[in-house]
Structure 1
Amino acid sequence: MTHHINFKGEKTVPVEENQTILQASLAAGIPHYHACGGKGQCTTCRVLVLEGQDKLTPPTSYERTIKKVKQFPDNVRLACQAQVTGEGVEVQRLIRDETDRFILIDDTEENRRSVMGERRKLALFFIDIRNFTPFIEESLPFDVIHIMRRIFALFKNAITQYDGEIIDTAGDGLYAVFGLNSKIKQATESAVLAGLKILSDLTIFNNTYMRPYFNHTFEVGIGVHVGKVVVGNVGIGLSHNLTVMGFPVNIAARLQASTKELNNSFVISAVAYRLLRNPPYAVGCDYLNLKGVSTPYEVKMIGKPYEVKEGAVLPKAIQR
């Protein structure tokens, strides 16, 4: 009996009984990679099953072994092993040219996010240092870098203590996520606890180090939100840093930015706040008009008012 399989973006090809997906694609002229010769000894022929997963034969012993090592999701199959048993199957080749082959064949990959990407619900955490520009203008380059390293070490310690992962740094701020290894409620709790620890540790750092040695203190703005995001690795950095993208990330960043106008060091979305089992006291609630969001966004303020208005030390002539 002949069935058909649709290769997304390429063509629909016939598949004969007892014929593998790889054999069918090669017969139809599709340049399907198969470095081991279609013997189940590599992963270059793997496909992502978009539809009709139940219309394929069960995974073979070769597939089960490779899946255990590579931790592929269930909808990734080896084309040299899978056969079609019915209509309605659609797949996508994951390695379509030499660039794909270079990116996707990595014997050191630790998990499926490295090559596949996935959608996850995470707690998103943004933090930015306030009143840092005046310190830069008044200090030696060595002191600026030294203090930045001290403060970022403080951030990192709190974030990693609560099982968060730093995704990116930019200037005097950073972006982290929580929930890669936990459920969303625990992730949100962890993000809040990390933020509160940073606020506490920064107060100690100001009182014991910054004020006596530099006659300066720092404050921060923290924004936390939760939502479904895409987690993966674009593979262009030397450290192959994880990438987390999606609209909820933008919301979290804007909440952090709103700490200035709300005059509160820690702003969390009401959506995230409701996930907390033991929420900290919220000193206020507000509705923000955020770019790209049609309705006002409810937020809770769980930090403290700023002691120093950012930009207050600047000469009047250049204030805006």
Structure 2
Amino acid sequence: MLYHIDFKGEKVVPVGEGQTILQASLAAGIPHYHACGGKGQCTTCRVLVLQGQEQITPPTSYERVIKNVKKFPDNVRLACQSKVNGEGVKVQRLIRDETDRYIFINDSEASTTRVMGERRKLALFFIDIRNFTPFIEANLPFDVIHIMRRIFAIFRNAITQYNGEIIETAGDGLYAVFGLNSKIKQATESAVLAGLKILSDLRIFNNTYMRPYFNHTFEVGIGVHVGKVIVGNVGIGLSNNMTVMGYPVNVAARLQAATRELDNSFVISDLAYRLLKNPPYSMGCGYLTLKGVSNAYEVKLIGKPYETKQATIITESGS
């Protein structure tokens, strides 16, 4: 019996009964890596099964051992151990040149799932210190860095307490996600609780440290949104290399920026707010215009007005 395998971006190749995917690809002239000679003792021949996983033979004992060690997802198979018993199979070679080989083999810190990327529904959390520039201009470099470390410790402690993960810091703000190890409703609850804790802890810090020693107080703006994003590991040696990308990330960043125009320290999208089991009191709702979106975007205001006022923005009351 003769079947066919579609190698994405390369060619459709015939595979005979009893022939492995590796044997079929090599016979068709595809330069398929197989460092161990196709004996199931390495992972260089691995493929990502895009379609027809049910038409591939079950994992062999060699595959099961490697899967347990490497934590491969179910749709990653060793081509040297996998045979085809039906049509409709489409695969993608994961290691196609030396750069791929380095990323997938030498980078032992990154999980296969994170290197390949995955689509996840997460709660996205942006926070920024609003009035840090005047403090920078009026104080010594040591004091600026020291206070920045104190404030970021407040951020980090709250985020990690509620199982969030910081993805990126930039200047006087940061970006975190919740839901890498939980369902989206719990993730949204955690993001909101982390934000409320930061507001509370920052208020204490202002009253007990900043006012007495520096005659200065800080305020922050927090934006929270939820959505499907791509999670992956870019492997450039910075932090944990994780990146989270997608339009919902841009929305969350826009919500954080809108804390100024809406005069409220914590802005959450209505979509995220409706996921909360015990939503905090909302001072009102606002409507934002987002780039590329024709309808106004509804948000809830769950923080407090700023002490340092910006231009007045009209919002609609509600809860």
1:92-119 per-position Cα deviation (integer Å, ceiling 9, x unaligned):
0000000000011147346333322111
Asked if the contact 2:51–2:91 (Cα under 8 Å) also holds between the matched residues in 1, the reply is yes
Q: Do 2:131 and 2:219's aligned partners in 1 also have CA atoms closer than 8 Å? A: yes
In the alignment, is residue 183 of structure 1 matched against residue 205 of structure 2?
A: no
For the residue of structure 2 that corresponds to 1:203, the secondary structure is helix
> Does the CA-based 8 Å contact 2:118-2:232 persist in structure 1?
yes
Q: Which runs of 5+ in 2 are unaligned?
A: 312-319
Conserved 8 A contact 2:210-2:217: yes
Cα distance in 2 for partners of 1:215, 1:224 equals 30
The corresponding residue for 2:100 is: 100
1:212 aligns with 2:192: no
Q: Summarize the alignment of residues 59-78 of structure 1 with structure 2, pairs less than 5 Å apart.
A: 59-78=59-78
1:206: Cα distance to partner?
A: 0.5
Instruction: Give, in whole Å, the separation in 1 of the partners of 2:2 and 2:232.
Output: 37
Distance 2:228 2:304 in 1: 29
TM-score by length of 1: 0.95
Match for residue 123 of structure 1? 123
Is residue 269 of structure 1 aligned with residue 269 of structure 2?
yes
Helix, strand or coil for the counterpart of 2:146? helix
What is the deviation of 1:235? Answer: 0.4
Task: Show the counterpart of 1:243.
Answer: 243
Question: Aligned Cα RMSD in Å?
Answer: 1.3
Kindly report which structure 2 residues correspond to 1:1-320, keeping only aligned pairs within 5 A, or say none: 1-106=1-106, 108-109=108-109, 111-309=111-309
TM superposition shift of 1:142: 0.9
- Structure 1's consecutive aligned runs of 4 or more residues displaced over 4 angstroms after TM superposition are none
Separation in structure 1 between the aligned mates of residue 73 and residue 304 of structure 2, nearest angstrom:
44
Once residues 108 and 233 of structure 1 are traced to their aligned partners in structure 2, the CA distance between those partners, rounded to angstroms, is 12
The share of aligned pairs that are identical, in percent, is 83
Partner of 1:315: none
Q: Take 2:85 and 2:126, find their aligned partners in 1: how far apart are those partners?
A: 49
Summarize deviations over 1:21-71 as a string: whole Å, max 9, x none.
Answer: 001111111110111111111111000111111111111111111111211
Contact 1:131 1:310 in 2 (8 A): no
- Cα distance in 2 for partners of 1:108, 1:211 equals 47
Whichever residue aligns with residue 71 of structure 2, its letter is: Q
What is the identity, as a one-letter code, of the residue corresponding to 1:34?
H
Q: How far apart, in 2, do the equivalents of 1:310 and 1:297 lie?
A: 21
Identify unmatched segments of 5+ residues in structure 1. Answer: 312-320
For the Cα contact (< 8 Å) 1:70–1:109, is it kept in 2?
Answer: no
Do the aligned partners of 2:114 and 2:231 also contact (CA within 8 Å) in 1? no
**So what's the TM-score if we normalise by structure 2?**
0.95
- SS of the residue corresponding to residue 50 of structure 1 reads strand
In terms of mean alpha carbon deviation, does 51-60 or 298-307 score higher? 51-60
Deviation at 1:294, TM superposition (A): 2.3
Give a deviation string over 1:107-157, Cα, whole Å, max 9, x none: 734633332211111000000001111111111111111110110011000
1:229–1:244 CA contact under 8 A, matched in 2: yes
Once the two structures are superposed, residues 260-280 of structure 1 have per-residue CA deviations (whole angstroms, 9 ceiling, x without a partner) of 000000000011001111100
Cα distance in 2 between the residues matched to 1:12 and 1:122 = 37
How far off its partner does 1:302 sit?
Answer: 0.2
More displaced, 106-115 or 4-13?
Answer: 106-115
Distance 2:254 2:184 in 1: 21
Q: Is the 8 A contact 1:128 1:174 kept in 2?
A: yes
Q: Residues 107 and 241 from structure 1, CA distance in 2 versus in 1: closer, same or farther, beyond 3 angstroms?
A: closer
Deviations along 1:63-83, one digit per CA (max 9) or x if unpaired, are 111111211111111000111
Letter of the aligned partner of 2:189 in structure 1? Answer: E
> Any conservation in 2 of the 1:130–1:310 contact (CA below 8 Å)?
no
Instruction: Classify the secondary structure of the residue corresponding to 1:5.
Output: strand
The amino acid of 2:261's aligned partner reads: E
Give the 3-state SS of the residue equivalent to 2:91 in structure 1: strand
Conserved 8 A contact 1:4-1:12: yes
CA spacing shift, 1:183–1:28, aligned 2, 3 Å: same
Distance 1:281 1:240 in 2: 36
